[in-house]
Amino acid sequence: MTNLAAAACRRAPIFLVAAFALLPLAEPAQAQKSGGSITVGQELDIPGFDPLKVGVYDTSTFTAAAAIFDTLVTLDDKGEAAPKLAESWTHSDDYKTWTFKLRKGVTFHDGTPFNAQAFKENFDRQKDPANKCRCAFYITNVKEVLAPDEYTVVYNLTDPSVNLPATITIQSQNNVVHSPTAWKTKGDDYNRNPVGTGPYILKSWTAGDRMVLEKNPNYWDKGRPYLDRIVLKPLPDAQSRFASLQSGEVDIIWDDENDADNIMKAQKDPKLTVHTYKGSGAQVYAFNTKVAPFDDVRVRQALVMAIDRPKMSQAISNGLSRPASNPYGDGSWVKCKDDGALPYDVEKAKALLKDYGKPVEFKMLVTATPRGRMIGQVLQQFWKRAGAAMEIDQVDQATIPSRAFSRQFQLTPWRIVDLADPDPQMYANFRTGSPLALAGFSDPELDRLLDHARVTADVGQRTEDYCAISRLINKEAIWFWTFQNTYYALSSAKLKGFPKIYNSVIDVSNTWLE
Amino acid sequence: MLNFIVRRLLAILPVLLAVSLLTFLIASLLPGDLAMVILGDQATPENVAALRHDMGLDQPLWWRYLSWLGHVLQGDLGRSFRTGQTVLQAVSERIPVSLELMLMAEFVGLLIGVPIAIACAARAGGAFDRFMTGSAFAMLSMPSFLVAILLIYLFAVELHWLPATGYVPFTEEPLANLRFFVLPALTLALAEWPGIMRVLRSDMIATLQEDYIALAKAKGLKPSRILFVHALKPSSLTLVTVTGINIGRLLGGTLIVESIFALPGIGRLLVGAIYTRDLVILQGVVLLVACGFVIVNFIVDMLYAVLDPRIRHGHA
């Protein structure tokens, strides 16, 4: 679709009716209403926006960043890359060079013009070793960004990336575009006085209490945004956050499966809407195949086959957790007819362990949180039934990465976060020699598939590759997946236009009140 | 008297030093550090090590403590690596909220506790006394997070009388500000009044046994006059101490209550600093809070000395 057509569709929803006509219960096209104000109940206090200071954004910062800033590219309703500050893009044959043509006539909230130079300055500031940006780690694959003319930006990558535009859509510390004038003039204070090109302008911010965002009257996307004002409030306690939604003090809140009771209450409440999205990642676990007993494939397979995911879901989240049989998740474009998942089969698991001959005893790292402990205990029971003894090794969440990187574990929990493309994480997690290849497993066929998938453009061919990768990993059982990443937001039923929760970001910048 | 004040003030210094050292040690025992929080869970060990080096987290513990102490003695409490705010900025933004919460809680606690204590003492052992002593025990055993949620469901979700969470500064909208503070202050007060009530009740019962009360009764004074004028003041010495110490307990209570009711006070600042391992903020805030606590106790001591001359002459 051309950009003009895309813009037309956004403004005239009637064009979309044809697409929805196939759905039996298609909602009637809704007219966006302008005006009004909403309050968002967030989980955390926002530490700030300067990537040099805060390092990585958290869930609460994402929501604010999505309103204050723009990214070059966004994801459309189908999860495909769509224009935002960049209007179009092309790539070199080896997918190592990407050229973006920028939108003209866009200005930052402080009047600074947005152009290729401004974008390059943002990137260089993160990349400059002298700045020691904690965010630099996430752009190691980008060698440099060039600005050959005022409205052209060129990415030069160290490794090929066939899906680069989609992977830079998350409103993260690396992707949102700041006004260079603002950070240069405000110095240390810039962190709490962010300036972007986004649909909302920061009006006031009281630490720990509220951030008030006002509509940007000069937003480049004419007609948007709809709301006059967005107020972001940190409500750290899950129970009182939900109570505030019920009593109408806030219009939308962040939530997760740990809060299953309230999510189910909201599902029954006609005044509330439950927004949910299954992302493109999963909760995963890695065996250390370099140490006994996990150096034997039979033990690994037995443990995976002993896990009853639906029962586990009931135990930990009242059945809200969605089982995963591969690392990609429903939100990913990778859909496998056969992902090679091992079936749940306790008898087979027992037989495999018997065949192994020696007693199976091991320790599993478990995060020292109520949920972490519960997951550990459930797995412990499954494995006991199959004849294996697991000892829970409780550690703080923050120490898991260091234990994992130094390979001081037998079995560790891990996470595959939502990215628009599987390549960055699959390559890091499974390619021989990667520091993140926690299982310590090396297989030439797996390496070949990973190398092939990252330089192939054809989606069908890539899907084949990634499904073959899934089959191989499932068969060798070097990692296993329990549940898909699922995201929740609960809102008043009057709040409309809330998009899919891509990349775990609660983005309210295009919503309106009915 | 001056000698007494100087002696008491000198005794405060070792307390503050001990508090800061203990906070530092305990915080260092926490697994993980700010470098990991800032870098996120996908960072490599090399990145974390480099950032720890930049922030001085790789220095030996004693050296970090001494250098922190050196800065504090020069009046520099430090600046958060994460938010860029100085400790003083962060605390001065939030202290009014916590002060208001504590004062209101103490006020409501006294408002509930004192009349009940007097009524109980007036008929010690009676039905009302026994009922109230029992209720006080029950209230003491209720954790504040439970009380808070129950109050929110009753007054905010069901009755819609009061807001569940939120805050506006008193200077902007005084009435709305007070409305936001009712439930949090009540939550804290419900845990405060039993202590107040029990202390005052037992002291009053003892006072009411004194000969001069019997004399007052014999002279035919009204029972209410005896209770409120002759018995209350001499019985309230312990209450003054308890109220002072309660400020410290209330500070602990604000950690939970401010989180539940989303009040932007010191308690929330501390909880956030602990979660993000922001040691600069944590150390600075704990030191300032300890200072506040010690000063309140100092004032209570002074008040005591004023109320009872035996104490300031050192042979109490």
Chain A partners of B40 at a C-beta cutoff of 8 Å?
Answer: 55-56
First-to-last alpha carbon distance for chain A, in angstroms, is 29
Residue B4 pLDDT = 76
Residue A10 pLDDT = 36
Percent share of chain B, pLDDT over 70: 94
Q: Given CB atoms, is A398 within the 8 Å cutoff of chain B?
A: yes
Task: Please provide the DSSP assignment of A222-257 as one string.
Answer: TT----SEEEEEE---HHHHHHHHHTTS-SEEEE-G
- Confidence band of A20 (pLDDT split at 50, 70, 90): very low
- Confidence band of A65 (pLDDT split at 50, 70, 90): very high
Q: Are B82 and A54 in contact (CB under 8 A)?
A: yes
A-facing residues of B in 86-145 (CB < 8 A) are 90, 93-94
Does the pLDDT at position A78 exceed 90? no
Chain A partners of B264 at a C-beta cutoff of 8 Å?
Answer: 206-209
Contact B264 A237 (CB under 8 A): no
Return phi, psi of residue A152, to 5°.
-130, 130
Shortest CA gap B305–chain A (Å): 40
Does the pLDDT at position B202 exceed 60? yes
Please give the residue that has the higher pLDDT: either A58 or A397: A58
DSSP B309: H
**Among the listed ranges A48-57, A183-192, B7-16, B110-119, which one has the minimum average pLDDT value?**
B7-16
Chain A partners of B36 at a C-beta cutoff of 8 Å?
Answer: 398, 401-402
Return phi, psi of residue A107, to 5°.
-125, 155
The two tokens of residue A50 are 């300067």
Q: What is the pLDDT of residues A445-457, one digit of tens each?
A: 999 999 999 888 8
The DSSP element (H or E) to which A215 belongs, if any, is: strand A210-215
Q: Are A6 and A82 in contact (CB under 8 A)?
A: yes
Residue A379 pLDDT = 97
- Please work out, in degrees rounded to the nearest 5, the angle formed at the alpha carbon of residue A282 by the alpha carbons of A343 and A58: 165
What is the ipTM score, two decimals? 0.75
B-facing residues of A in 420-439 (CB < 8 A) are 435
How many Å apart are CA B188 and CA B113, to the nearest integer? 13
How many Å apart are CA B158 and CA B32, to the nearest integer? 42
Residue B302 pLDDT = 78
Residue type, position B310, single letter = R
Three-state DSSP class for residue A71: coil
Prior bond of A293 cis (ω within 30°): yes
R_g over Cα of chain B: 24
Residue B313 pLDDT = 59
CB pairs under 8 A between A and B: 147
Select the residue of B36, B41, B262 nearest A236 (Cβ to Cβ). B262
Three-state DSSP class for residue A161: coil
The DSSP element (H or E) to which A479 belongs, if any, is: strand A479-492
Residues facing A213 on adjacent strands: A202, A230
Return phi, psi of residue A490, to 5°.
-110, 130
Task: Please provide the DSSP assignment of B221-262 as one string.
Answer: --HHHIIIIIIHHHHTHHHHHHHHHHHHHHHHHHHHHHHHHT
Contact A53 B83 (CB under 8 A): yes
Mean confidence (pLDDT) of chain A: 90
Angle between helix B61-73 and helix B2-29 axes, rounded to 10 deg: 140
Distance of CA A481 to the CA centre of its chain: 17
Q: Are A486 and A279 in contact (CB under 8 A)?
A: yes
Q: Given CB atoms, is B208 within the 8 Å cutoff of chain A?
A: no
How many Å apart are CA B131 and CA B135, to the nearest integer? 6
Does the pLDDT at position B314 exceed 60? no
The DSSP element (H or E) to which A213 belongs, if any, is: strand A210-215
> Virtual CA dihedral for A471, A476, A477, A483, nearest 10 degrees?
-10
A-facing residues of B in 11-50 (CB < 8 A) are 30-33, 36-45, 47-48, 50
Chain B partners of A204 at a C-beta cutoff of 8 Å?
Answer: none
Contact B165 A249 (CB under 8 A): yes
Shortest CA gap A147–chain B (Å): 28
- Please work out, in degrees rounded to the nearest 5, the angle formed at the alpha carbon of residue A228 by the alpha carbons of A226 and A233: 110
Residue B245 pLDDT = 76
Chain A partners of B157 at a C-beta cutoff of 8 Å?
Answer: 243, 246-247
Q: Given CB atoms, is B153 within the 8 Å cutoff of chain A?
A: yes
A341: CB partners within 8 A, 6+ apart: A325, A326, A474
Select the residue of B31, B44, B153 nearest A243 (Cβ to Cβ). B153
Smallest CA-to-CA distance from A108 within A225, A224, A230, A195 is with A195
Q: What is the pLDDT of residues A352-377, one digit of tens each?
A: 999 999 999 999 999 888 889 999 99
Residue A462: other Cβ atoms inside 10 A: 22
How many Å apart are CA A10 and CA A512, to the nearest integer? 14
Residue A18 pLDDT = 36
Q: Which residues of B65-94 are buried (b: 16+ CB within 10 A; e: fewer)?
A: beebbeebeeeebbbbbbbbbbbeebbebb
**Among A39, A45, A188, which would you mutate to test the B interface (most chain B Cβ atoms within 10 Å of its Cβ)?**
A45
Residue type, position B4, single letter = F
Does the pLDDT at position B216 exceed 50? yes
Residue B303 pLDDT = 77
Output the CA–CA distances (angstroms, integers) from residue A184 to A122, A191, A230, A348, A367, in the order listed.
Answer: 11, 11, 27, 64, 41
Nearest Cα residue in chain A from B256: A237
Q: What is the pLDDT of residues A100-149, one digit of tens each?
A: 999 999 999 999 999 999 999 999 999 998 888 878 878 888 999 999 99
First-to-last alpha carbon distance for chain B, in angstroms, is 15
The two tokens of residue B132 are 């109230």
Select the residue of B165, B269, B271 nearest A235 (Cβ to Cβ). B165
Burial of A5 by CB count in 10 Å (0-12 exposed, 13-18 middle, 19+ buried)? Answer: exposed
Residue B227 pLDDT = 80
- Confidence band of B304 (pLDDT split at 50, 70, 90): confident
Chain B partners of A395 at a C-beta cutoff of 8 Å?
Answer: 31
Query: Where do we find the tokens 């506790």?
Result: B113
Q: What is the pLDDT of residues A209-265, one digit of tens each?
A: 899 999 999 999 999 999 999 999 999 888 889 999 999 999 999 998 888 889 999
Contact B43 A399 (CB under 8 A): no
Q: What is the pLDDT of residues A159-203, one digit of tens each?
A: 888 889 999 999 999 999 999 999 999 988 899 999 999 999 999
Three-state DSSP class for residue A41: strand
Query: Where do we find the tokens 């299953």?
Result: A260
Select the residue of A54, A406, A435 nearest B38 (Cβ to Cβ). A54
Nearest Cα residue in chain B from A425: B42
- Average pLDDT, stretch B116-127? 88
Residue A22 pLDDT = 38
Q: Given CB atoms, is A236 within the 8 Å cutoff of chain B?
A: yes
- Confidence band of B300 (pLDDT split at 50, 70, 90): confident
How many Å apart are CA A147 and CA A99, to the nearest integer? 10
Q: Are A485 and A329 in contact (CB under 8 A)?
A: yes
Smallest CA-to-CA distance from B284 within B292, B295, B250, B14 is with B292
- Confidence band of A294 (pLDDT split at 50, 70, 90): very high
Residue B202: other Cβ atoms inside 10 A: 16
Select the residue of A192, A233, A395 nearest B31 (Cβ to Cβ). A395
Three-state DSSP class for residue A484: strand
> Virtual CA dihedral for B146, B150, B151, B153, nearest 10 degrees?
140
Does the pLDDT at position B219 exceed 70? yes
Select the residue of B36, B44, B50 nearest A435 (Cβ to Cβ). B44
The two tokens of residue A459 are 């989606």
The two tokens of residue A479 are 């990692």
The DSSP element (H or E) to which A203 belongs, if any, is: strand A200-206
How many Å apart are CA A268 and CA A293, to the nearest integer? 47
Please give the residue that has the higher pLDDT: either A267 or A208: A267
Does the pLDDT at position A24 exceed 50? no
**Among the listed ranges A15-24, A70-79, A181-190, B26-35, which one has the minimum average pLDDT value?**
A15-24
A272: CB partners within 8 A, 6+ apart: A245, A246, A266, A490, A491, A492, A493
How many Å apart are CA A109 and CA B35, to the nearest integer? 32
Q: Are A71 and A169 in contact (CB under 8 A)?
A: yes
How many Å apart are CA A337 and CA A482, to the nearest integer? 19
How many Å apart are CA B292 and CA A194, to the nearest integer? 34
Q: What global pTM score does this model have?
A: 0.81
- Confidence band of B307 (pLDDT split at 50, 70, 90): low
Contact A56 B50 (CB under 8 A): no
B112: CB partners within 8 A, 6+ apart: B189, B190, B193, B196, B197
**Among the listed ranges A342-346, A381-385, B33-37, which one has the minimum average pLDDT value?**
B33-37
Residue A503 pLDDT = 86
Three-state DSSP class for residue A272: strand
Shortest CA gap B193–chain A (Å): 24
Q: What is the pLDDT of residues A412-447, one digit of tens each?
A: 999 898 888 899 899 989 999 888 899 999 999 999
Residue B42 pLDDT = 63
Nearest Cα residue in chain B from A187: B84
Please give the residue that has the higher pLDDT: either A313 or B255: A313
Contact B84 A50 (CB under 8 A): yes
Percent share of chain A, pLDDT over 90: 72
Burial of A135 by CB count in 10 Å (0-12 exposed, 13-18 middle, 19+ buried)? Answer: buried
Shortest CA gap B59–chain A (Å): 19
Return phi, psi of residue A358, to 5°.
-90, 155
Three-state DSSP class for residue A210: strand
Contact A54 B40 (CB under 8 A): no
Angle between helix B144-151 and helix B174-208 axes, rounded to 10 deg: 130
A-facing residues of B in 262-281 (CB < 8 A) are 262, 264-265, 268-269, 271-272, 276-277
Q: Are A326 and A474 in contact (CB under 8 A)?
A: yes
Q: Given CB atoms, is A231 within the 8 Å cutoff of chain B?
A: no
B-facing residues of A in 69-108 (CB < 8 A) are none
Does the pLDDT at position A12 exceed 60? no
Contact A243 B164 (CB under 8 A): yes
Select the residue of A243, A397, A398 nearest B152 (Cβ to Cβ). A243
Does the pLDDT at position A152 exceed 90? yes
- Average pLDDT, stretch A79-89? 94
How many Å apart are CA B97 and CA B115, to the nearest integer? 28
Q: Given CB atoms, is B187 within the 8 Å cutoff of chain A?
A: no
Shortest CA gap B15–chain A (Å): 30
Q: Given CB atoms, is A51 within the 8 Å cutoff of chain B?
A: no
Q: Given CB atoms, is B171 within the 8 Å cutoff of chain A?
A: no
DSSP B153: I
**Among A45, A53, A57, A134, which would you mutate to test the B interface (most chain B Cβ atoms within 10 Å of its Cβ)?**
A134
Q: What is the pLDDT of residues B51-107, one digit of tens each?
A: 788 777 788 888 888 888 888 888 888 888 777 788 888 888 888 999 899 999 999
